[in-house]
Amino acid sequence: MMKMMIFGRSSFKPRLLLVVAAALVAGIVGLLGLQNSFPTGCIMTYMYPTYVPLPAPANTSVSKYGLFLYHEGWKKIDYELKLVQLSGVPVLFIPGNGGSYKQVRSLAAESDRAFNGGPLEESFYQSGVLTNEEGSFEENGIKRVNDIDGKDMNALRKQYYNHLDWFAVDLDGEHSAMDGRILEEHTEYVVQAIHRILDRYKESLEARSKNMANFATLLPKSVILVGHSMGGFVARAAVVHPGLRRHAVQTVVTLSSPHLSPPVATQPSLGYYFSRINWAWRKGYSSRKHPGLRSSLSTLSLSHVVVVSIFGGARDYQVRSKMASLDGLVPSTHGLSIAAPGMLNVWLGMEHQSILWCNQLVVQVSHTLLQMIDQKTGQPFSSPSRRLATFVRSLRSPLPQMLGWMSRSQIPEISQLARKPAVVSPNEDGYSTYSCSNSIKWPDESHEKDLFIETYAVTILAMDGRRRWLDIQKLGSDGRDHFVLVTNLVPCLGIRVHLWPERGSKEGFSVNQRVLEVTKKMVQLPAGPAPRQIEPGRQTEQAPPSGVLFLSSEDLQGFRFITLMVAPRPILSGRPPPAASMAVGQFYKPSEGRHTLPPFWIASTILGHKDVQLVENHPLLVNLTLSLSTGVLPVKMEMKTASCGIRNSVFANEDPGDLEHTTLWSARRGSRETTVAILVDPLCAYNIRMSASLPSAATRFLLVHGLEIAGFAVAILLFTLMQQARAWELDYPVPSVLASMEYNLRLPFPFIYLSMIPLIIYTTLEIANSESTSSFASFVLVSIACYGFATGAVAILATLSQIILYIAASVHFFVKRRCMGWIQRVNAQIPSRVSNQLNVCSSLWVLGSIRSRPLFAVMVLSILLVFFVHPALGLIVVVLVHTCNCYLALYSHQQQNNFMLSSDEALDKQVPLEKVDNGQIASPKPIISFKDAQLEIFNYSHGLLLVHLIAAAMLIPSLVAWGQRLGMDRSLPWFLDASLSFGIILHGFVGSKLDVNTPLVPFPGSPNNDAGLSFVYALAALYSYLAGLALAPYRVFHALAIIGALTTVFRILDRRGRMKGDYSLRRRHFHRH
């Protein structure tokens, strides 16, 4: 019977039950997926740290934060002497949410090793260059910037020009991701720390030098900021802080930092602070006086600042790639966003914390910062283009450009094949963009050993010193107008590639003058360099390829031959050769290697794995396009050799592994598709097995779309309150929360217009704002899934709370009946003197006022908590009041005879909501029984309880952060949080009953159909829905606060009307039986 009372036959229909079951399964499976750990492949970084505290200036107050200088070494040092010896480039590390200043140790230690050990080994692969968009601010084009940067890199062969001095701020491990005030205080201290660092260099120079004239040239003018997680946002906030000295920060590097929105976007002040900082950055890079003119960029307030955002990729669940992007904040001329899996010498996705100590990434970042130091000044380049070019060259792989994953406007001009002649003969001078250096000398071999290839594919399995000729006109026919070469030989040292207009020889010098070398157009593969051994290994020990060269039909136009020249072993100059030399080239047709997998095919791999077959003589480059984003459904791929004739596979990974480690990924901006590029031996057949993991998919779904679900949950409850308010306006029984939710799921209406209209509005606004939009069908699919999960989660919450309240009311009623006699005997034994004292105390004015108006007293208490302690505490009081109202309503209902039967009948006899929605009023019943009135009070109070419970829960992270600072922080809550919470309190107290309802929107037909509070709830729900789509659930506080303000206005108008004797508003009354 208890189950029937809670649900009722008209409250929990199969639609809602199905949604609840799906949400429950997704939640459980998603939580189980969090337990899965994936190997990152990162190498641990080791160090000998020492942290030197910087004393605060004498004229400043004592701060709870601190500033430290890092020193690498196991020997004990003199702190004061270390500070006096400051002479390097200052770098300030800012920890993230709950982080420690000691997290600087990995970056600082590797920077010290990099400076002492010298630059990395010279690479002969093509490096990243500025694109047309990134180099548009250069007056003479981007080629000049890239060429200058290349010369600087060639000069950095033996030693860097200066070392890095790493500082770190101690922010007391506070949770800056949870509270906007903490974030602002961290920004204030970082600005002070920057000034202290610059002043300390001046003091150190004065202490060790007497030559006062050279101060201006020796002192650093700026500090490089490196921030992790929320520390990266603090760094950006410090740049636009009004108190920061001019040009005190010119370079910002962030590691897994959110930029577009906070990761926990539930506090209004935190979201507003993000918006304010991002608005300042957009304004700093915009020009109102001369829009569109390049010359105006130099006059902007942030024209000197370069920002680099490095994020972990798909494995970082805390800060997603979209949040870490700089798109829309920093123009491409001053900003670079790059994922760790796409970084040179890294190629690994990593978690949120491992990005700080992953040795592959730390080493690459350390060398990049050292390469940015100018030889003349010993400080970073003053030109932002030089700094950005350094980051691009050292961090970004040119593979996306080579594979066609970049738009044509993004492809740099310098990447178009240079047509400057480069001679083959080492005795002649010549140089082109992709030519090997003249310092690399190859022995003059006889051309009698030349081989002429007659097939589309060529295979090289030995360093024989021979040259292979491929006829472009003959082999490139039948649409095979593209050429690809994959090898584990080092370009320039092991292999060289030339394009010939016609066949020539050493004597044909005129022909040689028109030969174009394209060796250094080769791009390094994520597989990494081939392992080298003293003795060549067996064929089964084949090393993975380390480089790939792509030549398009445009690149080959005007040439007749391609030559592949392999060096003999002595050319390695002491370098041990690879385990087994290998190079495979092929003329291919790009369309033959493209395979598109539809969304339903990918989704079906959840039930069981599916295979993709590659038969022999397939293209060397295979592109698999997954029509469903792996951000929604992670996919695992296993690749095995099916057959290979007399040869073993030289490319296939024989062991199953994660797709991220064995192939190349591409996820275009604004696209829901993922492209996987696979390089495999064209002479072998392969079996590609793909499967999707349901726990991983559920975990990814909840973590990626958690903010969207939070906004939808509030919208769903407001839609529920809308149905309840509409039933009151039409004089029908107020439905329960579950009954209203079930009705809102009905197809086709009202589900379509409740869920689809906000999606259409949001998409229209995005298009109007010229923002990139993904596939509308995919966007709708994901949004509807989030809406369904939020509905199920809210239904589960409503059911659990209803069960708890019913059990509490039943227990209370049972105990009161059993103990009534005992309570009467205890009251009779209380001395009259004690009773008189209690009466005297109760007669006091304050206590008397509280006793006469307890609800008003509680409201005042909650308001005081909101404005003077913390808004979450005031909302918790509101939730407790709603809980008491629900509890008392159920208890009053329990006191009636035949409670179980009558309540079930009351739930069952509720008028169908479709009649309420259509306004079909047959016989309104303005007078209802006391039991039914209590049931209606419970239903509406239950809806208010749930929506205000979620609002209070959204402020719990801020409350936790505030509790950490309890006793140290005496500042008042932010006015924005307090004022919005005050509006919610008004809604909770003033609008706790549905009788506060004023007609606002007239409907055709009977005048009794006018919509009042239901229309307000509908607009608030629509706004909350849009807030969820925008990943800004904190905006729901605006909607709830406006509801509170309007209900207060309605209450005032209602009281004025009653004082004037106006009873035009319908009121239902109840009478006791």
The H or E element containing residue 956 is helix 956-964
- At 603-656, the pLDDT tens digits run 888 888 888 888 888 888 888 888 777 767 788 888 888 877 544 333 333 333
State the virtual CA torsion across 265, 268, 273, 276 in degrees, nearest 10.
Answer: 110
Q: Are 8 and 742 in contact (CB under 8 A)?
A: no
Q: Are 552 and 420 in contact (CB under 8 A)?
A: no
Is 994 a residue whose pLDDT tops 80?
Answer: no
Query: Whole-angstrom Cα distance, residue 175 to residue 153?
Result: 41
State the pLDDT at residue 847.
46
Q: What 3 state SS string does 632-693 have?
A: CCCEEEEEEEEECCCCCCCCCCCCCCCHHHHCEEECCCCCCCEEEEEECCCCCEEEEEEEEC
Residue 1035's closest CA among 799, 718, 764, 794? 718
* Angle CA 1012–1014–1019, to nearest 5: 105
Residue 679's closest CA among 748, 746, 620? 620
State the virtual CA torsion across 279, 280, 286, 289 in degrees, nearest 10.
Answer: 110
How sure is the predictor about 120, in pLDDT bands with cuts at 50, 70 and 90? confident
State the pLDDT at residue 722.
94
- Of 122-131, 261-270, 275-284, 341-350, which range is least confident? 122-131
Residue 550's closest CA among 624, 620, 474? 620
- Of 94-98, 397-401, 806-810, which range is least confident? 397-401
Query: Whole-angstrom Cα distance, residue 287 to residue 529?
Result: 46
Q: How many CB atoms lie within 10 A of CB 407?
A: 12
Please tell me the chain's helix, strand, coil percentages from 3-state DSSP, rounded to the nearest 5.
Answer: 45, 15, 40
- At 193-225, the pLDDT tens digits run 999 999 999 888 888 776 555 555 578 999 999
State the pLDDT at residue 34.
75
- At 333-386, the pLDDT tens digits run 899 999 988 888 888 888 899 999 999 999 999 999 999 999 888 899 999 999
What end-to-end distance do the CA atoms of the chain give, in Å? Answer: 24
Strand order in the sheet with 451-453: 451-453, 467-471, 561-566, 495-500, 516-517
Q: Are 307 and 236 in contact (CB under 8 A)?
A: yes
* Residue 316 CA to its chain's centroid (Å): 8
Q: What 3 state SS string does 270-323 have?
A: HHHHHHHHHHHHHHHCCCCCCCCCHHHHHHCCCCCCEEEEEECCCCCCCCCHHH
- At 382-414, the pLDDT tens digits run 999 999 999 999 998 888 777 777 655 555 554
E-only strand ranges, 354-479? 451-453, 457-460, 467-471
Q: What is the mean pLDDT of the chain?
A: 79
State the pLDDT at residue 1073.
40
Q: How many CB atoms lie within 10 A of CB 796?
A: 16
Query: Whole-angstrom Cα distance, residue 1065 to residue 997?
Result: 8
- Of 29-43, 330-344, 974-988, which range is least confident? 29-43
Query: Whole-angstrom Cα distance, residue 677 to residue 403?
Result: 8
In sign, the C-alpha dihedral spanning 764, 767, 772, 778 is positive
Which two structure tokens, joined as six digits, stand for 929?
Answer: 């029984």
How sure is the predictor about 446, in pLDDT bands with cuts at 50, 70 and 90? low
Query: Whole-angstrom Cα distance, residue 444 to residue 1039?
Result: 80
The H or E element containing residue 547 is strand 547-551
Is 540 a residue whose pLDDT tops 60?
Answer: no
Which two structure tokens, joined as six digits, stand for 206?
Answer: 């004065």
Q: Are 540 and 468 in contact (CB under 8 A)?
A: no
Query: Whole-angstrom Cα distance, residue 32 to residue 962?
Result: 31
DSSP 553-599: HHHHTT--EEEEEEPBGGGGTTPPPBSS--EEEEEE-GGGGEEEE-H
Residues whose CB is less than 8 angstroms from the CB of residue 366 and which lie 6 or more positions away in sequence, other chains included: 107, 110, 111, 113, 114, 164
* Residue 152 CA to its chain's centroid (Å): 35
What is the pTM assigned to this prediction?
0.85
* More confident call, 485 vs 432: 485
For residue 613, with 0-12 CB atoms within 10 Å meaning exposed, 13-18 middle and 19 or more buried, which class applies? Answer: exposed
The residues facing 685 across adjacent strands are 643
Q: Are 856 and 864 in contact (CB under 8 A)?
A: no
Strands 306-311 and 523-524: unpaired
State the pLDDT at residue 926.
52
Q: What 3 state SS string does 159-207 have?
A: CCCCCEEEEEEECCCCCCCCCHHHHHHHHHHHHHHHHHHHHHHHHHHHH
Q: Identify the residue whose tokens are 């929990």.
A: 12
For residue 775, with 0-12 CB atoms within 10 Å meaning exposed, 13-18 middle and 19 or more buried, which class applies? Answer: middle
Residues whose CB is less than 8 angstroms from the CB of residue 17 and which lie 6 or more positions away in sequence, other chains included: none
Query: Whole-angstrom Cα distance, residue 755 to residue 18?
Result: 18
DSSP 49: E
Residue 297's closest CA among 272, 246, 332? 332
DSSP 1036-1053: HHHHHHHHHHHHHHHHHH
DSSP 88-137: SEEEEEE--TT--GGGGHHHHHHHHHHHHH-SPPP--SPPP---TTTTTT
Question: Could you give the C-alpha distances from 235 to 55, 100, 107, in angstroms and in order?
Answer: 22, 16, 17
- At 449-472, the pLDDT tens digits run 788 988 888 988 888 888 899 999
Q: Are 311 and 340 in contact (CB under 8 A)?
A: yes
For the chain, the residue count is: 1073
- At 3-20, the pLDDT tens digits run 333 333 344 578 889 999
